[in-house]
């Protein structure tokens, strides 16, 4: 499987491009400000065809370039229903917008347990609310890979002080992720990658990060 991680935008957010190299079908996961040019070039250079844009959640820093990519590539946008309003009305989640954020309409709603086929790769959707109501993680068992958005970071978790954050749901979400195989590679929405096994605090996340 092809993986490219590109950090961009004022919040240093990761745009992630994954692809099945047997079929050349690709998916973009999150589209921070300034990522579109890099993603389009990477697709072209590797002769990949984008099939979908998946959003881990709808905080503005994760979808600034979504409208541009949808227009250029003609690909559908997937987001959890609970986070969808912020795509249509950026700022609806109560977070201040530090830059212009183009509105964009989602095409499909992600649900817990949903399986998405990307060529010969299957992506499992895990609903991981807490940081946002509709936050999701994308798990690819065949590649031992988890794309965790802003739920799980290396050594930390997503901010729980935002207007729509739900701390109690975060602990349950992290508990679900803790049950994945320890060798699972984790690429988060910000920062460096890690593994499930390296985050030894996961099993007692509330005691570590709760108030």
DSSP string, 123-187: EEEEE--SSSTT-EEEEEGGGTEEEEETTEETTEE--S-STT--HHHHHHHHHHHHTS-TT-EEE
Asked whether residue 106 carries a pLDDT value surpassing 90, the answer given is: yes
Q: What is the pLDDT of residue 126?
A: 98
Mean pLDDT of 97-126: 97
State which residues form the domain around 203: 2-209
> pTM here?
0.97
Domain of 203, CATH number, reads 3.60.15.10
204 Cβ contact list (under 8 Å, min separation 6) = none
> Percentage of the chain with pLDDT > 70?
100
Give the pLDDT band of residue 211 (cuts 50, 70, 90). low
Q: How far apart are CA 140 and CA 119, in angstroms?
A: 13
State mean pLDDT over 119-148: 98
Confidence at 93, pLDDT banded by 50, 70, 90 = very high
Number of domains, the chain: 1
Pairwise CA distance, residues 211 & 205, whole Å: 11
Average pLDDT for 193-208: 95
pLDDT digits (tens, 9 = 90+) for 39-77: 999 999 999 999 999 999 999 999 999 999 999 999 999
Q: Find the mean pLDDT for residues 152-162.
A: 97
The answer to whether the beta carbons of residues 167 and 210 sit under 8 Å apart is: yes
Q: How confident is the model at residue 118 (pLDDT cuts 50, 70, 90)?
A: very high
Q: Give the pLDDT confidence of 5-14 residue by residue, as tens digits.
A: 999 999 999 9
Long-range CB contacts (within 8 A, 24+) of 115-118: 116/27, 116/52, 116/54, 116/78, 118/18, 118/19, 118/20, 118/25, 118/26, 118/27, 118/51, 118/52
Per-chain mean pLDDT for the chain: 97
Bridge partner residues of 145 (DSSP): 140, 185
* Confidence category of residue 210, pLDDT binned at 50, 70, 90: confident
- Cβ atoms 184, 165 nearer than 8 A: no
Q: Any idea which residue has 């290396």 for tokens?
A: 154
């Amino acid at each position: 499987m092809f993986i490219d991680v590109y950090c961009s935008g004022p919040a240093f957010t990761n745009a992630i491009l994954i692809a099945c190299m047997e079929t050349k079908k690709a998916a973009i996961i999150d589209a921070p400000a300034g990522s579109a040019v890099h993603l389009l070039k990477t697709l072209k250079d590797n002769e990949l065809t984008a099939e979908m844009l998946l959003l881990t959640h709808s905080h503005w820093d994760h979808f600034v370039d979504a409208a541009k990519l949808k227009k250029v590539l003609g690909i559908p946008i997937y987001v959890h229903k609970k986070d969808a309003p912020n795509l249509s009305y950026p700022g609806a989640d109560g977070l201040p917008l530090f830059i212009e954020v183009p509105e964009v309409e989602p095409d499909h709603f992600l649900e817990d347990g949903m399986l998405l086929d990307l060529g010969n790769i299957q992506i499992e959707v895990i609903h991981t609310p807490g940081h946002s109501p509709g936050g999701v993680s994308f798990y690819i068992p065949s590649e031992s890979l988890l794309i965790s958005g802003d739920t799980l970071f290396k050594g930390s978790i997503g901010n729980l002080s935002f207007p729509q954050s739900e701390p109690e749901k975060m602990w349950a979400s992290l508990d679900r992720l803790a049950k994945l195989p320890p060798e699972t590679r984790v690429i988060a929405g910000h920062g460096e990658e890690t593994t499930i096994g390296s985050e030894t605090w996961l099993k007692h996340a509330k005691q570590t990060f709760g108030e």
